[in-house]
Structure 1
Amino acid sequence: MQTPPTMTPAMELALTSNFGSKEAWLAAFLSTAAAATQPGSALLVFQPQTGALVHQWSPTASPAGDDEAVLLALGQEAFSATAIGDADAFMCSLPWDQVYERYQTAVHDATESLSAGHADIAGAVVLDVRRAGVFEKAPTKLAGSQWNDPATVGDWARDLPTDKEIVVYCVYGHEVGRVTALRLHAAGLKARYLTGGIDAWQAAGLTVEPKPLAV
């Protein structure tokens, strides 16, 4: 299945992290519609308390929780056999630019309290959570940091210490680092994201170290 041209890497990462892949997301989204027993819309919803994306079926196109953000809402007419017969075309027909904009806003609103400054690195467990492809090409990392794939945060979160401060960083401190910190925080960890990411860290003239040749 080709990646829709307007789906940003951060949005694809969000779908992968929550559903396994964008293909698995689509299958689950269609299943939500197929299982509906009343008129309504299938929703892709962001839950700010957990940082998770979930599916819901709603008769009003409103999410179950008052603080939840609807990223995508499709009425029953969108799920006709004709509309979804070609998975590639169906995925490409979705308004991914709008979905990402809503996701970006929701994530930023939910994570302002989890911001960590440069001085907060001292004594913390520092995790590099840049996307796999970005990390692979990067020549440097923060000193003493360890890379963890943000797409599989649900797998490695359980291995982190619960009694230590954790600071995660991505490139710019946007959705990747923020939502990873949010999901770790929801798991009971003392996690925050580095404001501005490694880009702002380097711009401030702070020290980085060469990245190992292999992860």
Structure 2
Amino acid sequence: MNLNALPIASGVMPLHELHLGSLGGDGQTMEPAMRLALEANFGGFERWREDLVALAAAPGGGARWVLLVYLPREGRLKNLGAADDAAVPEGGVPLLALDRHAPAGAGLDRIDWAGVYARYQAAVHAASEPFGCGHADVSGALVLDVRRAGVFAQATQMMAGARWHDPAAVGQWAADLPRDQPVVVYCVYGHEVGRATALRLRAAGVDARYLHGGLDGWQVAGQALVTKGDAA
């Protein structure tokens, strides 16, 4: 695993501009994949919110902003305090910036999660691009179905030999995966669910890649699927 091979974000939006772009929503409505990301990294939306509020209330040491940042090298989201743009960790991509001196809840209740999700999606796609794989690369790999729990529950088919692992709990099962075998993860379309899971696994020392096109691309290409109960 070469974490230094991960692309470093460039042209990151200045924090004061990001702050303005973070507002304008209802603070609640978000894409399922964004809610999944908060669950995988913080244990859920409410826990993320509690963590951010606690960070804003803590002695700031000059920090003006509280941020939600995506850290590609760690494959995770993290809440951070920052005094200025230079305080963002190298390679980190700020997704959300709130003024820590604003009245409690004033910014949280106005977050535009559509904008946050768009920035998260772009950051994950940029960081994961070197780690995609094609259909021919599946042979010999441990194949993991990482579709969201609700999506998997409604599905009837999956790839032969695949095992379902809840992407929201990746921090719990990553340590159980082999380090001497390639791992291929797939979601529905090969977008940020599979990509983010692969990056999180790579940061944990797993030789993980995501499947280009996901399960949908696999099926469109005429590759075989099996009934869920017959996957093993």
TM-score exceeds 0.5: yes
Aligned to 1:185: 202
Aligned to 2:14: none
Question: What's the CA shift for 1:136?
Answer: 0.3
Among 148, 169, 172, the alignment partner of 1:152 is: 169
- Contact 2:131 2:209 (C-alpha < 8 Å) held by counterparts: yes
Matched, 1:131 2:148: yes
Partner SS for 1:212: helix
Question: What's the CA shift for 1:63?
Answer: 4.6
Aligned to 1:68: 92
Could you list the structure 1 runs, at least 4 aligned residues long, displaced by more than 3 angstroms after superposition: none
Q: Which runs of 5+ in 2 are unaligned?
A: 1-25
What TM-score do the two structures reach when normalised by structure 2?
0.84
What letter matches 1:11 in structure 2?
A: M
Question: What's the CA shift for 1:76?
Answer: 2.6
Aligned to 1:96: 113
What letter matches 1:41 in structure 2?
A: W
From the superposition, tell whether residues 200 and 82 of structure 1 become closer, same or farther in structure 2 (CA, over 3 Å): closer
From the superposition, tell whether residues 208 and 71 of structure 1 become closer, same or farther in structure 2 (CA, over 3 Å): same
What TM-score do the two structures reach when normalised by structure 1?
0.90
Partner SS for 2:158: strand
Aligned to 2:80: 56
- Contact 1:172 1:198 (C-alpha < 8 Å) held by counterparts: yes
From the superposition, tell whether residues 182 and 81 of structure 1 become closer, same or farther in structure 2 (CA, over 3 Å): closer
From the superposition, tell whether residues 26 and 64 of structure 1 become closer, same or farther in structure 2 (CA, over 3 Å): same
Q: Which has the higher contact order (CA 8 A, sep 6+)?
A: 2
Report how many aligned residue pairs link the two structures: 204
What letter matches 2:228 in structure 1?
A: K
- Contact 2:145 2:165 (C-alpha < 8 Å) held by counterparts: yes
Partner SS for 1:50: coil
Give CA-to-partner distance per residue, 1:11-63, whole Å, 9 cap, x none: 00000000001000000011111112324100000001111101111111555
What letter matches 1:108 in structure 2?
A: H
From the superposition, tell whether residues 192 and 38 of structure 1 become closer, same or farther in structure 2 (CA, over 3 Å): same
Q: Which runs of 5+ in 1 are unaligned?
A: 85-89
